[in-house]
Structure 1
């Protein structure tokens, strides 16, 4: 996705209101509150922060001691449009980001799919070193290779995960796995169908440009999808499957 300014611009435009981002940001903030109660002075790092939607949500929730970085100049540009403390930095070189500084929470949402197993173990190992005692690592990732579609092609997503992979990465890097669960369960079958159709159409003409699924639907549909996911959260603590995989490590 790095270098694809139009995709970052799309993300920037919808990140505050799109149903999917709102649910994800709420999940992250809920886990932070569960780990640190009412303490809003904690130091938070968003590693691979994109256009800064989560950092903005954290700021609005009262967490003012948060920073982020991204490897994309476009992502950093749009984050700074929100007046966020975001720097240009590569995740594989995380050890050199603010050397010596540690964090209470490190978040890395929808970034690990760009890396191979060895690189992920390296990244998580450094994250563990940079976390304070009792600190949390929170990560959301896309799930199940069967859900691959033109969205993945547009964003250069190289892999999708299942629970066992994240559990293995946790144990291999010295983390204790606090929670790992799928979400977007109620919409997974429709998503699977749409993406299969998208792939079929794309294969008829692979030269045509593809775009991600990051776009704003009509307000009524956005509200409906948000309600469906709120219902899912109330009904299923750990759904059997889903299009996304949420992980909390300590």
Structure 2
């Protein structure tokens, strides 16, 4: 679902992205980087050496170990930066510093896509397991981008249709089990089918409008032309 949303947004905001230079900032195991293709132009970075090794094993050689707060690239090197599920992490010590680095390496008008978990009250044992230091509200991401000379193109919550279940899970103490949601009691295939249909419906909604709440938050912004 996340990758669909990332590429739907990329297609809308930067239709010729296949001909552009894109940085996957915090590429993890390389799923987005692999889908981007064009290894001669696109690059992924990650702080974890294990992630870099895994990317190499997948045949992704266009990766480098680096801190997103100190990127090893010249000014105005990229047309887009994707930072998906990274800024929340305990290893990111300076969020504003990371955004300033994205600004520095982007060309004027360059696109920044950011995905983060939303709402601190949804923090769970699962967050602890994946080293989540922070969850965000829309106002916080808006301020972070505007204060660092980005123009916001889109800012929306998502995973909205599952939001009530996430809140219920926290209320019932499911967070203590390390799960984001209670363990499914229905057959896994049915649960998977219902999840897929729910996310497909939400994907169609997100193509037309922004959603007012959700488990996660997506931002699309551009480096101001006058910067």
Q: TM-score, normalised by structure 1?
A: 0.77
Could you tell me how far apart the structure 1 residues matched to 2:17 and 2:92 are? 34
SS of match in other structure, 1:34 = helix
Counterpart of 2:162 in 1: which secondary structure?
helix
**1:112–1:70: structure 2 CA closer, same or farther, 3 Å change rule?**
same
Which residue is equivalent to 1:177?
152
Match of 1:225 among 195, 207, 211: 195
- TM-aligned CA deviation for residue 192 of structure 1: 2.2
1:40 counterpart = 2:40: no
Q: 1:74 to 1:116 in 2, by over 3 A?
A: closer
Whichever structure has more helix as a proportion of its residues is: 1
Q: Which string of whole-angstrom CA distances, capped at 9 and with x for unpartnered residues, describes residues 107-140 of structure 1?
A: 1111111369981111111211111121100000
1:69-118 superposed Cα distances (whole Å, 9 cap, x missing partner): 10111111222222112111112212xx1335610110111111136998
The alignment status of 1:246 with 2:218, answered yes or no, reads yes
**Unaligned 5+ runs, structure 2:** 182-186, 223-227
Assess if the C-alpha contact under 8 Å between 1:41 and 1:64 holds in 2: no
Q: Structure 1: any 5+ residue segments left out of the alignment?
A: 1-22, 203-209
> Residues 18-167 of structure 1: matches in 2 within 5 Å?
23-59=1-37, 65-84=41-60, 85-94=62-71, 97-100=72-75, 102-114=77-89, 119-167=94-142
- 1:154–1:211: 8 Å Cα contact kept in structure 2? no
Secondary structure of the corresponding residue to residue 69 of structure 2: helix
Asked if structure 2 preserves the Cα contact closer than 8 Å seen for 1:58 and 1:64, the reply is no
Distance 1:78 1:232 in 2: 31
Indicate how the Cα distance of structure 1 residues 70 and 137 shifts in structure 2: closer, same or farther if over 3 A, else same: same
Shift in alpha-carbon separation, 1:229–1:211, aligned structure 2, 3 A = closer
User: Which stretch has the larger CA shift, 138-147 or 235-244?
Assistant: 235-244
Alpha-carbon RMSD across the aligned residues, in angstroms, is 2.6
Matched residues in 2 for 1:145 and 1:173: separation?
Answer: 23
Tell me: CA distance 1:170–1:156, structure 2 relative to 1, closer, same or farther (3 Å): same
Q: TM-score, normalised by structure 2?
A: 0.84
Aligned to 2:162: 187
